[in-house]
Amino acid sequence: MRLLDVRDLPAPEPLTQILSNLQSLSAGEYLVVYHRQEPCALFPKVSSIGFSHRVVALREGFCEILFWREGDLVATRCVNGHQSMHAKDDE
């Protein structure tokens, strides 16, 4: 697992940082991103380059998103077992 916190970065740095980190993911690895909002425009872009995503925590001013390579079974298992440190904050 790799963690990337882009909450305090000005646009377009979150997009740039996320894409750069995705390209360097190793097999079995996934990226956890902390963002200040749900980056809906990013999702089709990452899908088009072979990545899946899942939003696991969302509240005003905070979004936690997981990204992993499509077809990476090890990363998929890890994502399925991921426990968000922030999910309970949504309740």
How confident is the model over 38-63, as pLDDT tens digits? Answer: 999 999 999 999 999 999 989 999 99
Within the chain, which residues score under 50 in pLDDT? 89-91
The pLDDT value recorded for residue 83 is 86
Cross-strand pairs, 49:
none
Give how far the C-alpha of residue 5 lies from the chain's centroid of Cα atoms, to the nearest Å: 10
Per-residue 3-state assignment (H helix, E strand, C coil) for the chain: CEEEECCCCCCCHHHHHHHHHHHCCCCCCCEEEEECCCCCCHHHHHHHCCEEEEEEEEECCEEEEEEEECCCHHHHHHHHCCCCCCHHHHC
The tokens describing 13, both together, are: 């740095």
The pLDDT value recorded for residue 5 is 98
**Which CATH number covers residue 73?**
3.30.110.40
pTM score over 0.85: yes
Q: How many domains does the chain have?
A: 1
Containing structural domain, residue 69: 2-90
